[in-house]
Amino acid sequence: MGTTRRQLGVLVKKNKKTVDVAYFLCYVISTIQQRMRANMQYKDTLIKKAKTFLANKNVELYFDDERTECAITVEVNNNRIWTDGNRGLWSTVAKGVKVRHANFLVTKHDDDDEWCGGLAGSVHYDGSGKDGTWNDGGDVETALINKVKDDDSDGMIYTDTAFLENLKKYMVEHCDYDMELEEYLDFDYSEQGMQDDEYVNLDVELDGDFWITASEK
């Protein structure tokens, strides 16, 4: 494959009209190499479980043509994901939160060829307080950069361990997610300053190459 790249370089030097074609061929060669590596390194049993997860009606996979962005969206359809109020730093409320959907996004950086999902995940929920769901309430005016909720609020879901555990439980029970897939899709809370009303921000660990490979097999 190295010889092919050198040959393409010679073409570029000899004829400027071949530049676009040469770079396109380099891109094609690189893409084929990546797919071949991905096909060799992933276990068939996990690929099968991933395909089952992706085939679920509540799950959608997205990736761009350049394969530098990959996202998985899980529809929760206003089903309740429970907090327990015991293991969080910003609330002591145990409630069934009506969650709309969760989105897990990663991008690949050219310099290290790694997928990055820092601050790129999100859970979107109903924070109106109606029908027993989470009550975001209002914010207290403060000189602090980070959000501070008022006394009528349930606080922030952020850091409530049970909430994310129960989100994964929902994915297992309703989306055909297998916990063995955590190596290729996992998530946790990000920073307090990134949280907002009706929005939980997450750090995401997602192997885009794995999920793209699973979708194409």
Overall domain count for the chain: 2
Q: Which of 65, 78, 53 is nearest to 206 (CA)?
A: 53
91/146 Cα distance (integer angstroms) = 15
| Same domain? 11 vs 106 | no
Whether residues 172 and 196 share a domain: the answer is yes
Please check whether residues 31 and 61 belong to one and the same domain: no
Same domain? For 57 and 22 the reply is no
How far is CA 128 from each of CA 65, 131, 204, rounded to the nearest angstrom? Answer: 38, 9, 26
Residues 54 and 25 in one domain: no
37 with 55, same domain? no
Q: What is the pLDDT of residues 17-69, one digit of tens each?
A: 444 554 455 555 556 656 555 556 899 999 999 999 999 999 999 999 999 99
Q: What is the pTM of this model?
A: 0.81
Q: Are 26 and 62 part of one and the same domain?
A: no
DSSP state of 148: -
Q: Containing domain of residue 145, as a range? A: 44-216
- Condensed to tens digits (0 to 9), the pLDDT of residues 123-174 reads 999 999 999 999 999 999 887 777 889 999 999 999 999 999 999 999 999 9
Q: 32 and 69 share a domain? A: no
